[in-house]
Amino acid sequence: MSAQSKQQGGERIRAFRASILHFVDDPDDLGEGAHQYFEDGLLVLRDGRVAELGEAGALLARLPPDAAMIDYTGKLILPGFIDTHIHYPQTDIIASYGEQLLEWLERYTFPTERRFADPLHARAVADFFLEELLRNGTTTALVFATVHKESVDAIFEAAAARGMCLLAGKVMMDRNCPDFLRDTAESSYDDSKALIEKWHHRGRLRYAVTPRFAPTSTERQLELAGKLLDEHPDVYLQSHVAENKGEVAWVAELYPWSRSYLDVYDRFGLLRQRAVYAHCIHLDERDRERMAGTGTAMSFCPTSNLFLGSGLFDLSGARDKKVRVGIGTDVGGGTSFSMFRTLDEAYKVLQLSGQKLSAFKAFYLATLGSARALYLDGEIGNFAPGKEGDFVVLDPGATPLLARRMENTATVAERLFVLMMLADDRSVYATHIMGQPAYIRPAAPIA
Ligand code: GUN
Ligand code: ZN
């Protein structure tokens, strides 16, 4: 019986054979014990969720005869990548020349976000954006929409159509921005509340209250963002903090009573579990302690921090205080949808301040670490039994250089490091959502 006909007959078990790697903990805490690697592994899913993981030799004999077998021998399976900070409306301005944050927002970002008042435009960009995530092996993201509530409908409808676990929210922005993108404190509260009721926990979707950053919100708007969180305790919050020195100075002028930029958010109850702040570069020790103490997460966005000239994220400073850290592309301030390109630049950012990022730690950050930052590690992030079966299938020899360099490796750690430095979307052979293929790399055309 073919896999196709079993599916039509209500197939329940699918088994994927490949080399398989995942993390059960942070390599900084558990060393070698933090990952499991099966050279000839089998990942068994039942109804899209992980049933078993182990050596193929041991597990194959126990498979029921009607299980569907998918043979990815020679490939490497990892849990789907998780992007903890990205803006879907900025897809069309990725790679825009010459500015740092505040001028970049005025010159490129705000004009392109204006177009998302049109639901057809929003849906077309949302579809492209999600295909791009999947082409890069990213199966979950925490996503900024725009100030328009239609832009949130578009991204959630597109994610639901693909069965993706996705978090998103309407930007709240009631000052210091063009009129055409401005809401009011009250309208942003009402619109966000309606969107929470419509989308939060619909299937695999989650809502994130989204004040853009302190400079574009009045105190009343930040207060109402806190009220939304109090009224819906398992809803998320996403924003930006301490990205750029000019931005930090502006926040000090706008909120003269604040001890620090982060303190502004603290004052309005916006530091808590399920709150995720992008960048977190220009912070001090007290800020990091406060983030750790409240369960607030940082999103490390290296390609953006280099591209916009923002500064160097301090991973060991975050670790010393035990702050949750995830990884983010921050497209379109970031310059790639690829988690490989992002980890590559994370490595280089840390090199510039004398810190090291091992390949194990890097791929932990892109999977279980980001799931923990999002408080989604009960559902995604690794292949523990019962987790949702989102994964990426990598082709370790996708380019001539990768194939050649892989020949010259001796350990899994080395092979992962080579992927982290040299791979990109060409290395993504397939991406699966709840076990089902959501992207398959097109075959090379026959000459
Ligand atoms: N701060 C406020 N808005 C933005 C944005 O869209 N991108 C980045 N990188 N930083 C921001
Ligand atoms: Zn951002």
Closest residue to atom 9 of ligand 1, CA basis: 333
The pLDDT assigned to 447 comes to 67
Instruction: Look up tokens 């592309």; give the residue.
Output: 329
> Quick one: fold of 81-373?
TIM Barrel (3.20.20)
Six token digits for residue 428: 């993504």
333 lines ligand 1 (CB under 6 A): yes
Q: Which atom of ligand 1 is nearest to the CA of 310?
A: 9
Determine the Cα–Cα distance for residues 421 and 343; give it in Å rounded to an integer: 8
Determine the Cα–Cα distance for residues 310 and 21; give it in Å rounded to an integer: 33
113 lines ligand 1 (CB under 6 A): no
Other CB atoms within 10 A of residue 229 CB = 20
Contact 318, 288 (CB under 8 A): yes
Instruction: Identify the bridge partners of residue 44 per DSSP, sorted by sequence position.
Output: 15, 52
Q: Which atom of ligand 1 is nearest to the CA of 301?
A: 9
Closest residue to atom 3 of ligand 1, CA basis: 212
Instruction: Look up tokens 């001090």; give the residue.
Output: 284
The reply to whether omega before 226 is within 30° of 0 (cis) is no
213 lines ligand 1 (CB under 6 A): yes
Six token digits for residue 286: 């007290």
CA of 265 to the centre of ligand 2 (A): 16
Determine the Cα–Cα distance for residues 399 and 421; give it in Å rounded to an integer: 13
How many Å from the N-terminal Cα to the C-terminal Cα in the chain?
34
Instruction: Look up tokens 């791929």; give the residue.
Output: 363
Longest alpha-carbon distance in the chain: 71
Where does CATH 2.30.40.10 sit in the chain?
Answer: 8-79+383-440
Question: Which pLDDT tens digits describe the chain residue by residue (447 residues)?
Answer: 444 444 444 559 999 999 999 999 999 999 999 999 999 999 999 999 999 999 999 999 999 999 999 999 999 999 999 999 999 999 999 999 999 999 999 999 999 999 999 999 999 999 999 999 999 999 999 999 999 999 999 999 999 999 999 999 999 999 999 999 999 999 999 999 999 999 999 999 999 999 999 999 999 999 999 999 999 999 999 999 999 999 999 999 999 999 999 999 999 999 999 999 999 999 999 999 999 999 999 999 999 999 999 999 999 999 999 999 999 999 999 999 999 999 999 999 999 999 999 999 999 999 999 999 999 999 999 999 999 999 999 999 999 999 999 999 999 999 999 999 999 999 999 999 999 999 999 998 876
Q: Long-range contacts of range 349-357, CB-CB < 8 Å, 24 or more positions apart?
A: 349/302, 349/305, 349/306, 349/312, 349/313, 350/312, 350/313, 350/315, 352/312, 353/312, 353/314, 355/314, 355/315, 355/316, 357/315
193 lines ligand 1 (CB under 6 A): no
The second-level CATH assignment, the architecture, of 8-79+383-440 is: Roll (2.30)
Where does CATH 3.20.20.140 sit in the chain?
Answer: 81-373
109 lines ligand 1 (CB under 6 A): yes
